[in-house]
A and B are shown apart, each in its own frame.
Chain A
Amino acid sequence: MLRQLMFIFTLFLPILSLHAQDPEVLIKNIREKLDKINDYQAEAGLKTNIPFLQVPDADVEVFYKKPDKIKIKNEKGISLVPKESVSISLYSLVNGKYQVIDAGSDLLNGTPVRVLKLLPANENADLVLATLYIDAAKTLVLKAKITTRENGTDEVDLSYGKYIQASLPDKIVFSFNTQDYKLPKGVTFDYDDGASKKNETGNQKNQRGKIELSFHTYRINRGLEDSIFK
């Protein structure tokens, strides 16, 4: 479930820009930046790399609407994308009660970054820890690690290009733990072509899945109907 949270969350990460040294102030700035984008509609390429999904690359449309609506649509064909979650939004994250810890500086792919850790005030929350890697010079979030009780640690990597002015990424890569997929052989009557060796690679439980979205165009704040997200 929290994977979906992460997914939504990360779509907002680009617009978190941190000018001040004080982590609390940085979070406040994030909140203000978030308000500037009410919605967007983007065209993107979707690459799926999940061990039990053999899916070709697809062209999709990504819809977002404040505060927490997100939808990925494949009009021409079928894509299996992580489901949207409406239970927790980034708003609640940045508006919620978190302790922000400054974890100092680091290097991410050669770029100097500030590392901030968000700890939920509520000890019973599913979210255990969120770590943000921020390019302070360009005020961009380059990476986020989100650890939840249910799904372990999910990661998001962001890269910027054409839409850097709007703080929207050209590419987002999500990586997460996946569950197993299994159907009884008596149902599928599979043909054993000798290529299916997934079962022999050991621990099923800790497989990593990756989804990569490469954005081509964004249309920002044009106004989107709620019905799109149904």
Chain B
Amino acid sequence: MWQLLQIELFKIFRKSRTYISFGAIGAMVIIIQAALKYDGRSYIEFLVGGLKDSLEIPYANILNGYFVCFIILNLLLIHIPLLIALVAGDSIAGEANMGTLRLIVSKPVSRTQLMLVKFLATLIYTALLLIWLAFISLALSILFFGTNDILIARNDALEIIRANDVMWRYLAAFAFATVALSTVAALAFLLSVFAENSIGPIVLTISIVIVFTLLSEMQIPLYDRTIKPFLFTSHMLAWKGFFYTKVDAAGSAIPGTIENLGAIMKSFFVLMAYIAGFVSSAIIIFNRKDILS
């Protein structure tokens, strides 16, 4: 198993498209950081909206590394599924397209094992991508912007979390984002089983993520209670839940708390169920599939 995993990782990391993702994330993060360094005030003004007339906004303090990292994650985690799909969608379909699938499937390795190893390798890629994202979005932002309390702009509230209460939230958020993006990986992986070139599963995965995200974000009451709870994209945003704090009876945020851990855990289990569903479907279908490529 370890031997096979090594082979899969070797194949992934010798492919140049693998590094497109790392490069793209690096470029996007640096672009956002540069923009905020140059004109972060405008962005903060936009976030606080009309409140800047009645509240004293300490712009310089707000524009710190933790805040910048949160903005980067907010902007990027929507787009990273594309980069995940790029590798996960290629997992089976790419081999079919290249003609190597028939060779590896006729080797003395069970198809189930082959699929598990391929998915595991995709997960490792996903995790590495997020570690890379964490490193440059958090470490570089802290380096360029320092640290301070973090201002979180929610749809209907502004939150402040103390600087010493932030790091564990980031660790939890990155861990959760790994699970969230693994769901995308699992979807692309499943679609990859059906195709004989990787464009199809990549495009289809992205289309599904976009449509689901739109449905998640559209505030249509009919959808809110019917399909929204079942869309994995709604749950993929749960990493933000780690940045929502509880409020005591006097209206003060309580440091070290999470507003609704139960909801995050529920999202976690929903995503895990999706991953398990996608991957086991992929394995079952692949086991029954005639390799004609």
Q: Which residues of A contact B (CB under 8 A)?
A: 3-4, 47-57, 72, 74, 77-84, 179, 181-196, 198-199, 210, 212
Contacts and interface: CB of A to CB of B under 8 A. Distances in A.
Contact of B49 (A4, A80, A183, A189): A183
B272 to A, nearest CB: 17
B273 interface: no
Q: Contact size class for B? A: 35 or more
Contacts of B39: none
B154 A196 contact: yes
A49 to B, nearest CB: 3
B234 A54 contact: no
B251 A195 contact: no
Interface in B208-222: 217, 219
Contact of B55 (A77, A81, A196): A81
Contacts, number: 146
Interface string B241-252: 100110100111
Contacts of A51: 157, 251
Given A189-B237, A192-B234, A77 B56 contact: no
A52 B55 CA distance: 13
Contacts of B264: 193
Contacts of A181: 49-51, 156-158
B258 to A, nearest CB: 9
B151 interface: yes
Given A83-B55, A191-B238, A193-B260, A198 B157 contact: yes
Say whether chain B's binding surface is mostly helix, strand, loop, or mixed: mixed
A210 B251 contact: yes
B53 interface: yes
Interface in B33-62: 47, 49-51, 53-58, 61-62
13 contacts: A50-B251, A54-B253, A74-B58, A78-B61, A83-B54, A181-B49, A182-B156, A183-B153, A188-B153, A191-B237, A191-B240, A192-B228, A192-B234
B217 A193 contact: no
Nearest to A53: B158
Given A72-B56, A193-B264, A195-B244, 8 more contacts: A52-B158, A55-B253, A56-B161, A77-B149, A80-B57, A83-B56, A182-B49, A189-B78
A158 to B, nearest CB: 18
Interface in B111-166: 148-149, 151, 153-163, 165
B74 interface: yes
Contact of A190 (B151, B158, B240): B240
A65 to B, nearest CB: 17
Nearest to B258: A193
Contacts of A182: 49, 155-156
A77 B54 contact: no
A184 B240 CA distance: 16
B253 to A, nearest CB: 4
A77 B158 contact: no
Contacts of B163: 77
Contact of B237 (A50, A183, A190): A190
A48 B32 CA distance: 32
Nearest to A74: B58
A83 to B, nearest CB: 5
A191 B250 CA distance: 24
Contacts of A55: 158-160, 252-253
B155 A188 contact: yes
A78 B57 CA distance: 9
A191 B241 contact: yes
A77 B61 contact: yes
B99 interface: no
Nearest to B236: A191
B54 A198 contact: no
A188 B54 contact: no
B95 interface: no
A191 B153 CA distance: 12
B162 to A, nearest CB: 6
B151 A54 contact: no
A71 to B, nearest CB: 8
